[in-house]
Structure 1
Amino acid sequence: MQHRLFLLAAMAGIGNLHAAGLPTLQEVTVSSGQRDLTGVADSATEGTVTARQLANRPLLRPAEALETVPGMIVTQHSGDGKANQYFLRGFNLDHGSDFATHVLGMPVNMASHAHGQGYMDLNFLIPELIGGIRYRKGVYAAEDGDFATTGSARIDYLRKLDRSFVELGAGQHNFRRLLAAGGHSLGDINLMGAIDVGGYDGPWDQPQKLNKTNGVLRLTSGNAANGFSLAGMAYKADWTATEHVPERAIANGEIGRFGAQSPNDGGKTHRTSLSGDWARTNESGASKLNLYVVDYGLNYFANPSGYINGVQGDQHEQADERLLWGGQVRHSWFLGPQWKDTELSAGLQLRQDRISLVGLYATENRQRTRTIREDRIRETALAFLLEARTQWTGWLRSTLGLRRDQIDARVTPLAGQFNMGNGGEASAGQTSPKLGLVFGPFDLLGPTEFYANWGHGFHSNDARGTTARTNPQDGSAVDAVPLIVKAKGSELGLRATPLKGWHTNLSVWQMALASELVFVGDEGITEPKGASRRHGVEWSNYITPVDGWIVDADIAWSQARFREANVDNGGRRVPNAIPLTASLGLTADHGGPWFGGLRLRYLGAYALEETGEHKSSAFWMANLKAGYRITPQLQLTLDILNLFDKRANDIEYWGGACSRNEALAGTGGCGSGTAIDGRLVHPLEPRTFRLSLRASF
């Protein structure tokens, strides 16, 4: 703590270096840029991604749009209809437990979800329609609440299209896609619609048979500061999955590298929503209101542990049916020079999850054989936020925030032999203070600003874990867990423009989490993991050397440790916390016939269990997009994913599982209730070619 206070004092002392006449950093908007530039941010690790940069980024999956957040990694350990696996700042975010995402003002993370807390399925995104991604890291913004432990992203679609278009795509492994988008304007009223239909089998020995249909209709007027928007979205998908498998089953030839253990894993999901927002801004203040309602469902079948209990397999189904609704209202007052140009904001957020059914079932070939647990949940989250931004001097501004959250949940057991006593009510609240200081601009590395941020945040736990008394699998006693897990974070950073066209951000951060509690959907219980601490360094760069060229380069290092050693093996490492990631991107588009982008991504080796004795394999990979405009209305694009055909694993775990042959032979107790610990892997997809043709009109 003393060294952080010393650094803050030293940064404040830099104010004495600020001489009259030094250049002041002005608010700058770069239409082709990736992130907000120096002088307009509250921290060194926030920014904005624009549509132009995404246009030339090769993507294997829609959620990879989030890899524009420096340090974010998006992978998959199952079928492409399931939410992705995310990693950031030394966190295995699982499917979204510690990173909050909103799309058109609607929260994507699902509380008390059948598969995992914070489940964040972004497969309904249409990347070509994304108008911008505004992201923050850390717990420093009053606007961010549940799940925003490592940060948040707010994704908005375009309010209007420059041109309507139809795009046809085809590629290896039966990839096919039709995207049609168009719009019409009448005065200041814009109507935009799109339909996205496609499928993909993947390289798997068991074809994925992914089929998805996605649509959006949006009516807008004005802009985000003065205008309104009304949007309807609908998405559904079904697929067959190849789950992660024991690496030894591949090594001994029982299955191929792209083979599956279970013949009928996978699932189906749907998401239908209606959302709207309204905003007004004038000289005295700004008001904003948004409302949403989401109908969501998932039936997911998986057999990740294989054949522990016999050759019939250990497949289970996780089911989730809910109606999610809520909104936010916020007003800001611009207090003027007599109040140091303070912007004072107050807001109210409300969210309710009406979960009619959330269940876990034992299944064989997608047929239910036993109900392990089935519940109904009503969970309501209410938050009040207050924030003040003040320009104290020409070289010092501050952001002071306060957020109060209250979560109330009621769990009603519906079925399950050992589950009927697990119901009840749970309630918890937290007050989260936030503080940000900005020093500068100073003429050091070119125009330079320094940042200091501190704050409290949290992620919620599954409501079923807070009312649990017995393990629904066998009736053994369990301890209930808290509904809210507190997080505390701090960060020092700088943003600078050393040379014309080169913007650089550097930050040092730390995070303490009261518990790594995780709801384990495969077992229907909440598993305690203990308190943890993390710290790290991030450096990101955005360079526009000449018009039409963009270079971005990021590197992130972190260390994640439990406060106390694991009682079984004595280790303190947090499993699956990636310590080193790096990315390098190059895009080129001069408006002429040729355009494209190249992305390189590196993932360092990470501990698979607490001792660090078993680690994943580090690897790097590259994706390429190359396009040619045949005419101004017709363009051809080629994506080459995994350009150099790297042989690596998208994800690696350490855990207990059994293959079919091991169950038949009774190896290590397989087939009779005992698992064999080992490496579980899901391979990186091989080099893949995809071709698309777009006609605009």
Structure 2
Amino acid sequence: MRTFLILSGSLLCSTHVFANIEEITVYGHRTGLIGDAISASSGIIGQGEIQSRAMLRSAEMLELIPGMAVTQHSGSGKANQYFIRGFNLDHGTDFATSIDGMPINMRSHGHGQGYTDLNFIIPETIATIDYQKGAYGAAQGDFSTAGSAEFNLADNPKHQQLDISIGEDNYKRLMALGTLGVANGKIIIAGEWQGYDGPWQDINEDVDKKNAMIRYVGKAWDGDLSVTAMAYDNSWNSADQIPQRAVDQGIISELGSLDTTVGGSSSRYSLSANWQGQHINANAYVINYDMDLFSNFSYFLNDPVNGDQFQQVDSRTISGGALSYQFVDTLAQMPIQHTLGVEYRRDDIDQVGLYNTKQRQRLSTVREDVVNEASYSAYWQSKMSLSQALEASLGVRYDYFDADVDSNNRVNSGSADDDLVSFKASLNYLFNDNLAGYVNWGQSYHSNDARGATIRQDPVTLAPAEKVDLLVQSNGAELGLRYFDQQQFNLSAALWWLSLDSELLFVGDAGNTEASDASKRYGLELSAYYWLNDALSLDAEASFTHSRLDIDSSDDRIEGAVPVVASTGINWHITQQWQSSLRVRHIGKRILSSDGDKRSEPLTVVNGLVSYQQTHWKVGLEILNIFDSTDHDIDYFYASRLAGEPADGVEDNHFHPIEPRTLRLNFSLLF
């Protein structure tokens, strides 16, 4: 295998094995993939690709997915903002994530539906990230409207290692990863600590992040068994988004804060087990999760005396599991691979609350709830080889949700249930050894916050409130091509379409539901990878999206939608020991108002990485935001009130800047 191909795990984003047809050789950090009937926009990201990217935050691992953008509007300990396929996913509403079978998205969460906090993941423990844009597989369930990603923990880490990183703004990180052989298997142990003050002028982030993992992998009951315990604890202060006028008037700088007492803490502890036999896969998990978050986005609009700071609390236990069975059958001498699966998940939320606060001291309760929410799912998918070149896949999925809400306001207590049947279909055609075509169609859904499904009275105004459906269905389709030249060039292209029955969401910041309409989106995605020689490779990715509400009005823009996401990079293996990479990320002007009149400025940032490695040690330098851009990570347009302003406030652009240029030095011992 040629060295230059090993350098680029990006190739894995555009490769596929056609089960029962013909295997396309996969170059990169894996040499073989077990194929499903997937789309042109699906792929696998390897650990080598993760290591080759300079990243400000661990959640930026998701930016390895072509067309995905990851930003932040608050403190480092909070879940990031995600954008893909015309969705402002907020903190994860329409993109499903999981790790070794455990769900990451949080239902009926205190800060936002589908809340996806990836801070508990130690990047060095990840072997691969399997992603699918769109929802064309029957195993894809809640939150998978725009797609899904599965983080797979490493069973065989390439190295045992000890990492020490330091950087500007008092950035410090320690990471250790080791293995221990035991009977019939091994134990993998990893730990991480990170501290960071941030570049902000009025606030010290004081990040104190701790992660730990202990994992057993081995043989049991004629199959492969893994048992994993994970622990995460973090606390931080936040530099929230700020109004443009406060900067223009000289009240604060672009790196300043109007409320210096916001921030939070969060923890996640889990135990999971996975077993895989010849025909059966099974997993089970239990997760204990807590979050305590203080924010202030409107300053003195609602309370001119104490200010508008609020606290969001979430404390829950999640338990569940999944079981699938695979077998092969024939129909008229045509081989068919069947997969049958069932899933169960229960969220026991003993406290999810919203409170008015001042300097992190509670003043009053907006609402406080106990929520018990369970889902039961079953699916069937069959994949058949219709000819030597043509493969088809058909699937159906059934989901049933049941929720009980016990609110501090009896009017908002109650029960809700809902169910959905989703159908999936795909065709893959192999034109020749290098060119394949894909046609995909699928239905999916996202769940709404259970509190929105039982609400009768707005907790702030006490006015009647409209309930929302517990489940919201989507329909999507895709037409794609993938070209794979084993020597130099790799290209994938997808033209996609997606409709969503309703953009209804529970707004955690306000404690009520916000009604919207059905929506439609379509777009084009391109990914290309080119190897100039054994040492130098280039890649480019671009996503173009058109997003509209499905209404007869000029106010049909979807706020937060991103029309363009693009990136390009170069990997240069200078010598056997020296390696470097340079990457440009661009996010186009985001829509900030329903009439499309208000838009953000585009964001462009350049990051670089250079490293030198010997057999037992490695040193690397990351340069983040090389050209010291002052673009914005996120923008919102809404009304807020500063001291002395009119009671109704002032509509303004509120933004969070990207962090200034920063350098980070890493030293690793490899065993």
Q: When the two structures are superposed, what TM-score results if normalisation uses the length of structure 1?
A: 0.90
**Aligned counterpart for 2:233 among listed residues 231, 236, 255:** 236
- 1:186-265 to structure 2, matched below 5 A, reads 186=182, 188-205=184-201, 206-221=203-218, 226-265=223-262
Q: Deviations over 1:343-381 (max 9, x none)?
A: 011000100000011000001111111011111010001
- 1:521-670 to structure 2, matched below 5 A, reads 521-547=508-534, 549-564=536-551, 570-589=554-573, 592-629=576-613, 631-659=614-642, 663=643, 665=644, 667-669=645-647
> Taking structure 1 as reference, are residues 576 and 36 closer, same or farther at Cα in structure 2, changes over 3 Å only?
farther
- 1:502-517 to structure 2, matched below 5 A, reads 502-517=489-504
Letter in 2 for 1:486: Q
- Please state if 1:359 is matched with 2:353: yes
How far residue 41 of structure 1 moved from its aligned partner, in angstroms, is 4.8
Q: Percent identity at matched positions?
A: 37
Q: Is the 8 A contact 1:36 1:46 kept in 2?
A: no
How far residue 339 of structure 1 moved from its aligned partner, in angstroms, is 4.5
> Taking structure 1 as reference, are residues 373 and 585 closer, same or farther at Cα in structure 2, changes over 3 Å only?
same
SS of alignment partner, residue 77 of structure 1: coil
Letter in 2 for 1:472: P
Match of 2:288 in 1: 295
Match of 2:652 in 1: 678
> Taking structure 1 as reference, are residues 495 and 273 closer, same or farther at Cα in structure 2, changes over 3 Å only?
same
- Please state if 1:459 is matched with 2:443: no
Match of 1:426 in 2: 416
> Taking structure 1 as reference, are residues 30 and 226 closer, same or farther at Cα in structure 2, changes over 3 Å only?
farther
- Please state if 1:178 is matched with 2:162: no
CA distance in 1: counterparts of 2:389 and 2:423, whole angstroms: 24
CA distance in 2: counterparts of 1:56 and 1:548, whole angstroms: 14
How far residue 34 of structure 1 moved from its aligned partner, in angstroms, is 12
> Taking structure 1 as reference, are residues 403 and 70 closer, same or farther at Cα in structure 2, changes over 3 Å only?
same
Q: Is the 8 A contact 1:262 1:313 kept in 2?
A: no
SS of alignment partner, residue 431 of structure 1: strand
Letter in 2 for 1:506: A
Letter in 2 for 1:694: S
SS of alignment partner, residue 207 of structure 1: coil
Q: Is the 8 A contact 2:625 2:662 kept in 1?
A: yes
Q: Deviations over 1:635-662 (max 9, x none)?
A: 1111100011111000011111122xxx
CA distance in 2: counterparts of 1:637 and 1:461, whole angstroms: 44
Q: Deviations over 1:491-510 (max 9, x none)?
A: 11111125723221111111
Deviates more, 1:41-50 or 1:228-237: 41-50
- Please state if 1:369 is matched with 2:347: no
Q: Is the 8 A contact 1:306 1:314 kept in 2?
A: yes
CA distance in 2: counterparts of 1:188 and 1:69, whole angstroms: 36
How far residue 545 of structure 1 moved from its aligned partner, in angstroms, is 4.1
How far residue 585 of structure 1 moved from its aligned partner, in angstroms, is 2.1
- Please state if 1:326 is matched with 2:304: no
How far residue 590 of structure 1 moved from its aligned partner, in angstroms, is 7.7
Q: Deviations over 1:147-173 (max 9, x none)?
A: 000000000111122332111111101
Deviates more, 1:303-312 or 1:174-183: 303-312
SS of alignment partner, residue 250 of structure 1: helix
How far residue 221 of structure 1 moved from its aligned partner, in angstroms, is 1.8
Deviates more, 1:44-53 or 1:595-604: 595-604
Match of 1:305 in 2: 298
CA distance in 2: counterparts of 1:501 and 1:340, whole angstroms: 35
How far residue 614 of structure 1 moved from its aligned partner, in angstroms, is 1.1
Q: Deviations over 1:276-335 (max 9, x none)?
A: 100012xxxx21001111000000000011111215210000000000010110001022
CA distance in 1: counterparts of 2:396 and 2:27, whole angstroms: 32
Match of 2:11 in 1: none
Letter in 1 for 2:385: Q
Match of 1:105 in 2: 101
- 1:8-407 to structure 2, matched below 5 A, reads 25-32=22-29, 41-186=37-182, 188-205=184-201, 206-221=203-218, 226-281=223-278, 286-308=279-301, 309-335=303-329, 339-407=333-401
Q: Deviations over 1:458-513 (max 9, x none)?
A: 00100000100000112111111110111011111111125723221111111111
Paired positions, count: 648
SS of alignment partner, residue 314 of structure 1: coil
Q: Is the 8 A contact 2:26 2:32 kept in 1?
A: no
Match of 1:6 in 2: none
Q: Is the 8 A contact 2:265 2:292 kept in 1?
A: yes
How far residue 105 of structure 1 moved from its aligned partner, in angstroms, is 1.1
CA distance in 2: counterparts of 1:59 and 1:384, whole angstroms: 38
SS of alignment partner, residue 342 of structure 1: strand
How far residue 31 of structure 1 moved from its aligned partner, in angstroms, is 3.3
Match of 1:7 in 2: none
Q: CA RMSD in A?
A: 1.9
> Taking structure 1 as reference, are residues 389 and 359 closer, same or farther at Cα in structure 2, changes over 3 Å only?
same
Q: Is the 8 A contact 1:27 1:40 kept in 2?
A: no
Q: Is the 8 A contact 1:507 1:539 kept in 2?
A: yes
Q: Is the 8 A contact 1:232 1:274 kept in 2?
A: yes
> Taking structure 1 as reference, are residues 539 and 596 closer, same or farther at Cα in structure 2, changes over 3 Å only?
same
How far residue 188 of structure 1 moved from its aligned partner, in angstroms, is 4.6
Letter in 1 for 2:25: V
Letter in 1 for 2:69: I
SS of alignment partner, residue 139 of structure 1: coil
> Taking structure 1 as reference, are residues 321 and 36 closer, same or farther at Cα in structure 2, changes over 3 Å only?
same
Q: Is the 8 A contact 1:34 1:53 kept in 2?
A: no
**Aligned counterpart for 1:473 among listed residues 454, 460, 467:** 460
How far residue 36 of structure 1 moved from its aligned partner, in angstroms, is 6.9
CA distance in 2: counterparts of 1:494 and 1:385, whole angstroms: 27
CA distance in 2: counterparts of 1:593 and 1:67, whole angstroms: 27
SS of alignment partner, residue 63 of structure 2: helix
CA distance in 2: counterparts of 1:90 and 1:130, whole angstroms: 28
CA distance in 1: counterparts of 2:124 and 2:577, whole angstroms: 19
CA distance in 1: counterparts of 2:337 and 2:570, whole angstroms: 38
CA distance in 2: counterparts of 1:28 and 1:187, whole angstroms: 35
Q: Is the 8 A contact 1:142 1:401 kept in 2?
A: yes
Q: Is the 8 A contact 1:112 1:463 kept in 2?
A: yes
CA distance in 2: counterparts of 1:339 and 1:241, whole angstroms: 62
How far residue 181 of structure 1 moved from its aligned partner, in angstroms, is 1.0
CA distance in 1: counterparts of 2:219 and 2:626, whole angstroms: 42
- 1:430-445 to structure 2, matched below 5 A, reads 430-439=420-429, 441-443=430-432
CA distance in 2: counterparts of 1:306 and 1:344, whole angstroms: 56
CA distance in 2: counterparts of 1:186 and 1:550, whole angstroms: 41
The unaligned stretches of length 5 or more in structure 2 are 1-20
> Taking structure 1 as reference, are residues 590 and 31 closer, same or farther at Cα in structure 2, changes over 3 Å only?
farther
CA distance in 1: counterparts of 2:568 and 2:490, whole angstroms: 15
Q: Is the 8 A contact 2:137 2:424 kept in 1?
A: yes
Q: Deviations over 1:542-598 (max 9, x none)?
A: 3344445443311000010011256xxx41111111001111122344882212322
Q: Deviations over 1:47-66 (max 9, x none)?
A: 10011111111110011000
